[in-house]
Chain A
Amino acid sequence: MRMGLTQLTVAVAAALGAVTIGSIGVTTAAELSLRHVVQQETRSLTTLAVANTLEKSVLDLETGLRGYLLTDQPRFLQPYRFALAAYPGQARSLKALTAGSPAQQARAAAITSAIGVYVRDYTRPLIRQARAGHLAAARSPRATGAGKARVDAIRARFAALTQADVRAAAANARSAHHLRSLVLVAGIGSMVLAAAAFVAISFAVRRTVAIPLRRLAGAAGQVTAGELSVRVPAGGVAEVGELASRFNAMTDSLSLQRTELEAQKAELEAQQVQLEESFVALEERKGHAELLQRFGARLAAVSGVSEVSTAALKEFGDAARAEAGALYLFDERTGTFPLTARRGTAAEDVPGVVREGDGLAGLALAERRPVTVSHDQATVPTVGINGRRSAVQELHLPLRHGDRLVGVVSVGRFRDEPFTGPDLEVLGDLAHHAAVACAEAQSQRAVERVAAELAAVLAATDEGFCVIDKVGLVTMANRAALDQTGYARDELLGHSAHDILHHAGADGGPGPDPDCPITRIMRSRTGGRVEDQVFWRRDGSSFPVEYAAYPLSDGDQLTGAVISFRDVSGRKLAARHRDVRHAVTRVLAETASVEEARPRVLAAMCEGLGLDVGLAWGLADQGSRLTRLASYAADGHADLAARLGDMDLAAWEGPAGVAQARLEPALFQDLDAQAARPGLRPDPRLHSAAAFPVISSEGRSIGVLEFFSHRAIATDGLADTLSTVAAQLAHYAERKRAEVQAQRMRDEFVSTVSHELRTPLTSISGWLHILLGGEPGPLTDEQRRFLHTIERNSDRLMRLVGDLLLAGQIESGRLQLDVEDLDLAEIARETAGLLSAQAAAKRIALTVEAPESVVVHGDRARLGQVLDNLVGNAIKFTPEDGQVRVGVDHADGTCRVTVSDTGIGIPADERPKLFQRFYRASSATRQAIGGTGLGLAISKAIAESHDGTIHLADHDGPGTVFVLELPLATREEAHI
């Protein structure tokens, strides 16, 4: 077991410590002795000083006392007093200083005691004696001598004390010298020992510590230089040996680690290579991203579908390194993809429109994938870009935005460089960007188009539109809104719609905002319509309005409302005017003549338009004057109407005269009485007037209508109504005139026809009559029979002419009756009498069953004609030996004539047609029974014109029964 560095150090330190402690001990002991000696010396000196002070005090006592006694002046007693006060303290100090030496202390105590005695027994009694006036005694030599003796004794004691003290001090000094020598010897010895110990220690340390450490340092240097195989011997002190072995272990470990590090380094180098490759890839990606970004920026810099698609195609072509290109965008309206941009091609070289599945671009669209083609390899004829000429490589990429096909872009390279996968990757991204940009541009265009259309609609419509925000401020107002309200746009925008347009109700009362229907509608979140309210114009007037409000919201948030409104004052007035026009039309339709129509037209217009007086004027004196034809007065205006209408008017006199002179409507508001009529006194009921001429189609006035009102006449629509009514009246008047003329022409025609027919008949029947009268000469039977045949047919022709004329009259509604009270029974008998010959010719029994008299109100000739027709028919249609019966009776105010026969009857299906004009029963035509087919129709018309009827009675048995019913004149008359 080697001695360790610690043990070595401890041993060396112990040796050095022992030497040091020894020298210190000797020195300390000497020092302590020396200090004691010095103290003794000091004390001796102090004792001497104190003793001297005390001795001086004793001398002060003696001298002070002596001075006082000699001079008797108290001031000489002063040193005595001081010394008397000081000496006890000095005595105590002396006592303390002498404490170390009993001999000295005894001497000090004796001195102190002697002083006390001197003071007590000598000085004080002398002083008291002197003060008592016994100076002389005090000054006596005995007294002074005694004192001197005492003091000398005390001073002797002091001398003894001082001498003893000096002796002690000398002894002290000797002791001190001895001690100093001792200390010097001890110091030198210890220094020699210490130097020896240092040399020994240095040697030992060099051998056991420094050398091994230097070796170690060298080895460490080698290790640092990379030489890891070096090892050091484990010599030296224990710690150094351990250090060496640790060092060896460390180098072992280091060399192991170096091996690992080299492996890691190789790996790192491999990774670096990879990193560099990644960096290259990243650079590519960066370039790609920059391309996309630039592409996006270029597209963002332009707007409009055409510009965007052109820019997109240009960038796309640059990126594709393609010289030619075309871009097609979807058109919703046609469902096709028209060409919107091209590059490097002429318009005729590319298709103007692409359809899905049609051509290469169409294929790309249909399959939603890029289509590339090299024209060398193309196996099918394709419609490429740039025709069939020069694009050797083509790429067609669909432009997709989500699932939506936005369009297709076609690019072509003129050189033979195929489009590669990376190309397609980059271009696919660009295509996506282009699709988004084009779709946005299209959307933008669609939005702008809609916005433009909306703006145009808003500008064009006559419906007022305002948009308000949620607090009711106007944010938009269209032209019609401004027109209707009279505000400028700036005066509405940003202001409260309610406060401006809707602040008060129709009566002018305030319309509080919370009650406002617009507020209510907005709150309800559903649109609504409001009628019967007013809006206020800028000029302070109001107008009736109909409006609708529709809330606007953004999600759940109410953002405002749209108000659409319309001024309906015109419409309300228009409705009144329309009603008036309809009323006039109705009047004209219902009346048969202008005379009948005039007052009713005036009434309809006054009542409809709220006018008080209406006058109709006609022309007199070849149109130079107006004369009143009809008038209307509202309640309370009859007198005014009479005054206004009681004179003829010349041109320019009154509103009617003005209208007549101008040949156009005249309107007077704030009418002056003189303007109403010359010389008329003012009347509060005369406020306004309107007049208009009724102008014929030839442009001539045929009359004037004139109206007066106690309030202003609303002018809106008045001109229309007046012109409409004037036109209606003119048309009506002309129509009536035309009707009259037509009637005259018809009468003329009837006259002519009747003349033309009757004139030859006059000759025929006249000459027949003369011949049959036998005047020209006698007739043979045969001649007479022939002439009778001619006469019969002549009569028939005559009746036919009569019937035709009558039918014409009936048709035109102008059957004229010569009405009187007449006895129908009598007429029946007369008719039977006239026809009895006919009946007799067929051996028909013709009977009349009638009361004596049945009176009706009617035209004798016409009713006779009816009976003649009925009975004549019965005879005609009844075979020989038959019966014809005429019955007349009356019941319940009705006279009833029945004509029944036993003839061939009328089939049921023919009965409804029997009374139609020109209808002839089948039996009549079959049996060649003559007739015009007018008889029954005329009979029916005559019966009806007498408020009667004629019909065929249902009856059992053969034959026919006709029934004529007429009202009796009166019940009383019927019994006359």
Chain B
Amino acid sequence: MSEPSQPPVILVADDEPDVLELVGYRLSRSGFTVVEACDGEEALARALDQVPDLAVLDVMMPKLDGYELTRRLRSADATQRMPVILLTARAQESDIATGFEAGADDYLRKPFNPDELVARVRAVLGRR
């Protein structure tokens, strides 16, 4: 939050357009700049291209899933320290563990309260 005038850029990736729009609407209405991607590869490209302040990534995406995307981001210099919040429809605890192992900073189960997402994003950004 070095410059308050410049709202943080959040990369939102989900193959589900309805969810993507929901998250985008909520975050942009909450004052973030939202960059949308509808699959993993696009998300990776945008992340590497624009280096957002935070990424909200769906786990189950075609081409590149959330876990692998997180690993790639962690292994790229530009995005190595970029916070990642995973959205997962998976119920299992093991899925969540996998997410953390891949390098995610937080996770949120679907379905989620959009206000909670905003709170988590702010919390993660606040940690940095």
- Residues on A with beta carbons closer than 8 Å to the beta carbon of B111: 758, 761-762, 764-766, 798
Tell me whether A763 and B92 are in contact (CB under 8 A). no
Tell me whether A751 and B19 are in contact (CB under 8 A). no
The answer to whether the Cβ of B29 comes within 8 Å of any Cβ in the partner chain is yes
Bound-state Cα–Cα, A910 to B91, Å: 33
The answer to whether the Cβ of A786 comes within 8 Å of any Cβ in the partner chain is no
- A769-786: CB near B (< 8 Å → 1, else 0) gives 110010100000000000
- Residues on B with beta carbons closer than 8 Å to the beta carbon of A16: none
The answer to whether the Cβ of B122 comes within 8 Å of any Cβ in the partner chain is no
The answer to whether the Cβ of A747 comes within 8 Å of any Cβ in the partner chain is yes
Given known pairs A755-B60, A769-B115, the reply for A762 and B110 (CB within 8 Å) is yes
Tell me whether A763 and B19 are in contact (CB under 8 A). yes
Question: How many residues of B are in contact with the other chain, CB < 8 A?
Answer: 22
The answer to whether the Cβ of B16 comes within 8 Å of any Cβ in the partner chain is yes
Tell me whether B16 and A763 are in contact (CB under 8 A). yes
Tell me whether A747 and B26 are in contact (CB under 8 A). no
The answer to whether the Cβ of B22 comes within 8 Å of any Cβ in the partner chain is yes
Tell me whether A766 and B26 are in contact (CB under 8 A). yes
Bound-state Cα–Cα, A146 to B56, Å: 239
The answer to whether the Cβ of A750 comes within 8 Å of any Cβ in the partner chain is yes
- Residues on A with beta carbons closer than 8 Å to the beta carbon of B25: 770
- Residues on B with beta carbons closer than 8 Å to the beta carbon of A190: none
A775 nearest in chain B by CB position:
B29
Bound-state Cα–Cα, A751 to B90, Å: 5
The answer to whether the Cβ of B101 comes within 8 Å of any Cβ in the partner chain is no
B22 nearest in chain A by CB position:
A766
Tell me whether A763 and B90 are in contact (CB under 8 A). no
Tell me whether B114 and A759 are in contact (CB under 8 A). no
Tell me whether A818 and B92 are in contact (CB under 8 A). no
Tell me whether B114 and A763 are in contact (CB under 8 A). no
Bound-state Cα–Cα, A644 to B3, Å: 69
The answer to whether the Cβ of B89 comes within 8 Å of any Cβ in the partner chain is yes
Tell me whether A751 and B92 are in contact (CB under 8 A). yes
The answer to whether the Cβ of A816 comes within 8 Å of any Cβ in the partner chain is yes
Residue among B16, B29, B91, B109 making CB contact with A750, cutoff 8 Å: B91
Tell me whether A770 and B91 are in contact (CB under 8 A). no
B94 nearest in chain A by CB position:
A747
Tell me whether A759 and B19 are in contact (CB under 8 A). yes
Tell me whether A755 and B89 are in contact (CB under 8 A). yes
Bound-state Cα–Cα, A759 to B61, Å: 12
The answer to whether the Cβ of A767 comes within 8 Å of any Cβ in the partner chain is yes
The answer to whether the Cβ of B2 comes within 8 Å of any Cβ in the partner chain is no
Bound-state Cα–Cα, A588 to B24, Å: 55
The answer to whether the Cβ of A805 comes within 8 Å of any Cβ in the partner chain is yes
- Tell me the chain B residues, 59-96 only, with Cβ under 8 Å from chain A: 60, 89-93, 95
| Interchain nearest-CB distance for A769 vs B (Å) | 5
Given known pairs A759-B110, A773-B115, A798-B111, the reply for A766 and B92 (CB within 8 Å) is no
Tell me whether A751 and B26 are in contact (CB under 8 A). no
Tell me whether A818 and B110 are in contact (CB under 8 A). no
Tell me whether B110 and A758 are in contact (CB under 8 A). yes
The answer to whether the Cβ of B49 comes within 8 Å of any Cβ in the partner chain is no
Tell me whether A754 and B26 are in contact (CB under 8 A). no
Tell me whether A747 and B92 are in contact (CB under 8 A). yes
A797 nearest in chain B by CB position:
B111
- Residues on A with beta carbons closer than 8 Å to the beta carbon of B110: 755, 758-759, 761-762
- Tell me the chain B residues, 93-114 only, with Cβ under 8 Å from chain A: 93, 95, 109-114
Bound-state Cα–Cα, A760 to B14, Å: 13
- Residues on A with beta carbons closer than 8 Å to the beta carbon of B29: 775
- Residues on B with beta carbons closer than 8 Å to the beta carbon of A773: 115
- B1-45: CB near A (< 8 Å → 1, else 0) gives 000000000000000101100110110010000000000000000
- A580-620: CB near B (< 8 Å → 1, else 0) gives 00000000000000000000000000000000000000000
Residue among B16, B23, B90, B112 making CB contact with A754, cutoff 8 Å: B90
Bound-state Cα–Cα, A751 to B89, Å: 7
Given known pairs A762-B19, A766-B19, the reply for A805 and B113 (CB within 8 Å) is no
Tell me whether A770 and B92 are in contact (CB under 8 A). no
A806 nearest in chain B by CB position:
B91
- Residues on A with beta carbons closer than 8 Å to the beta carbon of B113: 765-766, 769
Bound-state Cα–Cα, A750 to B88, Å: 13
Residue among A751, A757, A770, A802 making CB contact with B22, cutoff 8 Å: A770
Residue of A769, A773, A798 ringed by the most chain B CB atoms within 10 A:
A769
Tell me whether A758 and B89 are in contact (CB under 8 A). yes
A805 nearest in chain B by CB position:
B91
Tell me whether B114 and A769 are in contact (CB under 8 A). yes
Bound-state Cα–Cα, A483 to B90, Å: 71
A763 nearest in chain B by CB position:
B18
- A733-769: CB near B (< 8 Å → 1, else 0) gives 0000000000000010011001111111111111101
- Residues on B with beta carbons closer than 8 Å to the beta carbon of A750: 91-92
| Interchain nearest-CB distance for B65 vs A (Å) | 11
Given known pairs A751-B92, A755-B89, A818-B93, the reply for A762 and B26 (CB within 8 Å) is no
Tell me whether B16 and A766 are in contact (CB under 8 A). no
Tell me whether A759 and B95 are in contact (CB under 8 A). no
| Interchain nearest-CB distance for A813 vs B (Å) | 15
Bound-state Cα–Cα, A755 to B90, Å: 6
- Residues on B with beta carbons closer than 8 Å to the beta carbon of A765: 111, 113
Bound-state Cα–Cα, A627 to B111, Å: 48
- Residues on A with beta carbons closer than 8 Å to the beta carbon of B115: 769, 773
A767 nearest in chain B by CB position:
B22
| Interchain nearest-CB distance for A584 vs B (Å) | 33
Bound-state Cα–Cα, A958 to B41, Å: 63
Bound-state Cα–Cα, A883 to B95, Å: 42
- Residues on A with beta carbons closer than 8 Å to the beta carbon of B60: 751, 755
Residue of B23, B90, B112 ringed by the most chain A CB atoms within 10 A:
B90
Bound-state Cα–Cα, A887 to B29, Å: 46
| Interchain nearest-CB distance for B88 vs A (Å) | 8
Tell me whether A759 and B26 are in contact (CB under 8 A). no
Tell me whether A754 and B91 are in contact (CB under 8 A). yes
Residue of A759, A767, A769, A770 ringed by the most chain B CB atoms within 10 A:
A759
- Residues on B with beta carbons closer than 8 Å to the beta carbon of A767: 22
Residue among B16, B23, B91 making CB contact with A759, cutoff 8 Å: B16
B111 nearest in chain A by CB position:
A762
- Residues on B with beta carbons closer than 8 Å to the beta carbon of A762: 16, 19, 22, 89, 110-112
| Interchain nearest-CB distance for B86 vs A (Å) | 13
Tell me whether A751 and B93 are in contact (CB under 8 A). no
Bound-state Cα–Cα, A813 to B60, Å: 26
Bound-state Cα–Cα, A417 to B61, Å: 117
- Residues on B with beta carbons closer than 8 Å to the beta carbon of A758: 89, 109-111
| Interchain nearest-CB distance for A461 vs B (Å) | 64
- Residues on B with beta carbons closer than 8 Å to the beta carbon of A805: 91
Bound-state Cα–Cα, A767 to B114, Å: 8
Tell me whether A751 and B95 are in contact (CB under 8 A). yes
Bound-state Cα–Cα, A775 to B27, Å: 13
Bound-state Cα–Cα, A754 to B96, Å: 14
| Interchain nearest-CB distance for A724 vs B (Å) | 38
| Interchain nearest-CB distance for B17 vs A (Å) | 9
- Residues on B with beta carbons closer than 8 Å to the beta carbon of A760: 18
Bound-state Cα–Cα, A402 to B77, Å: 119
| Interchain nearest-CB distance for A754 vs B (Å) | 5
Bound-state Cα–Cα, A941 to B89, Å: 24
- Residues on B with beta carbons closer than 8 Å to the beta carbon of A802: 91
Tell me whether B90 and A766 are in contact (CB under 8 A). no
| Interchain nearest-CB distance for B113 vs A (Å) | 6
Closest 6 CB pairs of A and B: A755-B89, A762-B111, A758-B89, A763-B18, A762-B110, A766-B22
Given contacts A751-B90, A770-B25, 16 further A-B contacts (CB under 8 A): A747-B92, A750-B92, A751-B60, A751-B89, A754-B90, A756-B89, A759-B19, A759-B110, A762-B19, A763-B19, A766-B22, A766-B23, A766-B112, A769-B114, A770-B22, A805-B91
Residues of A within 8 A of B (CB): 747, 750-751, 754-767, 769-770, 773, 775, 798, 802, 805, 816, 818
A–B Cβ pairs within 8 angstroms, 17 of them: A751-B92, A755-B60, A757-B89, A759-B16, A759-B89, A760-B18, A762-B19, A763-B16, A763-B18, A763-B19, A763-B22, A764-B111, A766-B113, A767-B22, A769-B114, A770-B114, A798-B111
